[in-house]
Structure 1
């Protein structure tokens, strides 16, 4: 054990510290596969006081700190590749005080998303932020990246569900932000600075999370479409006629990778170029036939080729599996991911331009399209050919990035809709932020993290 680590152990004798190679590899990397983890060690605090002690030690010894939650990020935000100390919050996973009147609950940073969802259900309430990684992602990471997921069009991003935050800054101070208040008009709301800050200002150690009433019983409608342009036509029709909780889309290539795993049967007898998945209030429960009428209208227009409506909760879950299995099914291909967004009204024109650009620039690569298109968010995944070296593949993708992001800029969009910026997209931040904004962001970081030890190299150029 190095002298600084020995000093940390002396100062915090109850702190769990791991220095073995397996732990350093495991905790030093998120779902991004373009970096080799090389952390100094891994700290697993169990209390806020231990987190504060870690930060004060890091300031004294000039050691960089990298936060670690469920490590499900896709932008390298939780990567420790340069001798940093990883701070894992998995032991701080307690759910505390519940306020039934306010519909809020106190959670530590390491609470797994699915655990909060289950807790809310047990209280007759609902936590709506959801995504494929909900079984392993943690609230601290969700808050640090302002995670979105599959139900943004009805419930918004994580930001909407944070009533209060407990954070430890880069100076080791504990700040209690907003304290769960519904109304608090007393100047700057630092809570919203920390949401989406990717651990660069300080560490989220706890949160007061909002809950809500459960939605009516939901059904899932999976539709087969002949063309990419029809995706938004169908969205406009259904959004006007029914209450949507989710509107997802994916290409036939994406479905092909899901089916190749052999766990799901093809949803339709004849494959189609594109598919959309809608989650909506169950027509069988409400007795409302609006969804069926809208489906028939889309069929008549030629925008839809086929469809299936879930008849049970189990079938709804099976239909969701076609969408939620995509990321896992393409992971072996080391995909290069772009997570971009434009305003919903500009999606059709943007898709047309982007489709032409990708076809021209990636003729030899397989490109997988999917995303939460009902909120303007597209996930573009370029798959690495087996024979191509990883470095050469990444270089090829980043050359095309310049054109993709120029298009995003022209449409006034975001180069990172929900995955964060991290290491992978850091140098592209000027696509979505002006020079003046970036300068101000750097100034804000210096206020909360004057020594630059909090997740350095992430988010900010």
Structure 2
């Protein structure tokens, strides 16, 4: 069989690209086998299209990343940066003919400085590995996404990740002091500082945090650390309604308490966890609230919060006596997403953040949406900061159920905006929420963001098709 010219052209182009990349990368860092490159096409999001990458590269040095970007600019080839691909918005999905730039091999912790309380790391460092390493110095890196055993610091920076501890310690953006970034044309740019304070010029560091790889490639990060806090103790409170549990959240925050963790699970999630792990939570539990404190003496704080929960209508309040019991109470929360996925086989995880005072309205609204579409939708939330994760359970092989799942997802996002919230608290926009970003920030906001993109990436080769 003779290959036509139109069939041969993509192969020639791919060959030229591969040869150019190999001029500055070792052979083992350039992957072209279609079966292997296909495995890099997607992150963990549902309903997000992905293309077929032309090549996957795994650089180990800044210079190798610069070579990739110079090559991509010269040949006008799109580049999709990736970490561990644990994202939930399609932000790391490949586009047809792109270079997938996987940064997982750049995984060195370059420095831990207990005096300055900073760590300097490459983007491929696993979040949990950093946490353990700084813990050996009596230090603490607070941002802890649920995928912390797998996700990378570069990915956390790209999506401005959060986690369970955000209510007290904040999100990734608050811990990124400085960055080294390879720009679209291969130039290396340094932003930020190593010092505790610094206001020299525009805050370019914050601009890159949450930019989802659309402005440059983060190759080094200076991260702020905190002293290691005491181990936290946990309290669990059961409620006969989600509204009562959310009232307790409002009372806790209005009372000036600063828990290290404040999480809520609705009845659907509690049932799913019971079905999966047989934890023995009462069938009458409509909502489960978990609160924790990591103060030197958490007993008084737990007692005060327990009293507020009872005043809000808690049917049972169980404070942990020790660390082992605390871990047992937290197990239900950690199993939530796994349990919900087991309900129908596939989940679509929303990421709507609302004011704490509207948390109850969001949960009740999701219940109505679930009933309307005849779907199972569980809600788990970082209640302390209003960041909810309504999780739509569906059978991906059922076209009608998949359609209803997508419709319910959109209705939840609309509800979040109606309640004064935002379409994403920590997962990013990616492909999944492009339309909704435009609705949230409006035409002028989109115009300004596109203008920033044009300055950094005039050829639109960095993660094209994401965000807007």
Assess same fold via TM > 0.5: yes
From 258, 274, 294, the counterpart of 1:281: 294
Give runs of aligned pairs for residues 402-417 of structure 1, distance below 5 A.
Answer: 402-417=410-425
Give the corresponding residue for 1:338: 350
**SS of match in other structure, 1:197:** coil
Name the CA shift for 1:448/1:36 in 2 (closer, same or farther; >3 Å).
Answer: closer
Give the corresponding residue for 2:303: 292
CA contact (8 A) 1:241 1:294 kept: no
Give the corresponding residue for 2:54: 40
* Aligned counterparts of 2:320 and 2:405: Cα–Cα separation in 1: 39
Give runs of aligned pairs for residues 54-453 of structure 1, distance below 5 A.
Answer: 54-239=68-253, 240=255, 242-261=257-276, 264-281=277-294, 286=297, 288-299=299-310, 301=311, 303-331=313-341, 333-352=345-364, 354-355=365-366, 357-359=368-370, 361-362=372-373, 364-385=374-395, 388-389=398-399, 392-453=400-461
Unaligned runs of 5+ in 1: none
**SS of match in other structure, 2:139:** coil
Give the corresponding residue for 2:8: none
* Aligned counterparts of 1:270 and 1:433: Cα–Cα separation in 2: 42
* Aligned counterparts of 1:53 and 1:9: Cα–Cα separation in 2: 10
How high is the TM-score relative to the length of structure 1?
0.92
How high is the TM-score relative to the length of structure 2?
0.90
CA contact (8 A) 2:274 2:281 kept: no
* Aligned counterparts of 1:210 and 1:426: Cα–Cα separation in 2: 31
Name the CA shift for 1:322/1:49 in 2 (closer, same or farther; >3 Å).
Answer: same
Deviations 1:350-398 (A, max 9, x none): 444x246414532x11111111121011111111146613xx4443344
CA contact (8 A) 1:144 1:195 kept: yes
Structure 1 residue 242, shift from structure 2 partner: 4.1
The number of aligned residues is 451
* Aligned counterparts of 1:194 and 1:15: Cα–Cα separation in 2: 30
* Aligned counterparts of 1:27 and 1:168: Cα–Cα separation in 2: 21
* Aligned counterparts of 1:296 and 1:190: Cα–Cα separation in 2: 45
**SS of match in other structure, 1:223:** strand
* Aligned counterparts of 2:339 and 2:363: Cα–Cα separation in 1: 24
* Aligned counterparts of 2:83 and 2:179: Cα–Cα separation in 1: 16
Q: Which moved more, 1:194-203 or 1:322-331?
A: 322-331
* Aligned counterparts of 2:224 and 2:110: Cα–Cα separation in 1: 13
Give the corresponding residue for 2:64: 50
CA contact (8 A) 1:365 1:384 kept: yes
Unaligned runs of 5+ in 2: 1-13
Deviations 1:107-156 (A, max 9, x none): 00000000110011001111111122100100000001000111111011
Structure 1 residue 250, shift from structure 2 partner: 1.0
**SS of match in other structure, 1:335:** strand
Structure 1 residue 168, shift from structure 2 partner: 0.9
Structure 1 residue 27, shift from structure 2 partner: 2.0
* Aligned counterparts of 1:382 and 1:9: Cα–Cα separation in 2: 44
CA contact (8 A) 1:114 1:134 kept: yes
CA contact (8 A) 1:405 1:431 kept: no
* Aligned counterparts of 2:407 and 2:297: Cα–Cα separation in 1: 51
Name the CA shift for 1:373/1:10 in 2 (closer, same or farther; >3 Å).
Answer: same
1:20 equivalent in alignment to 2:33: yes
* Aligned counterparts of 1:293 and 1:167: Cα–Cα separation in 2: 46
**SS of match in other structure, 2:293:** strand
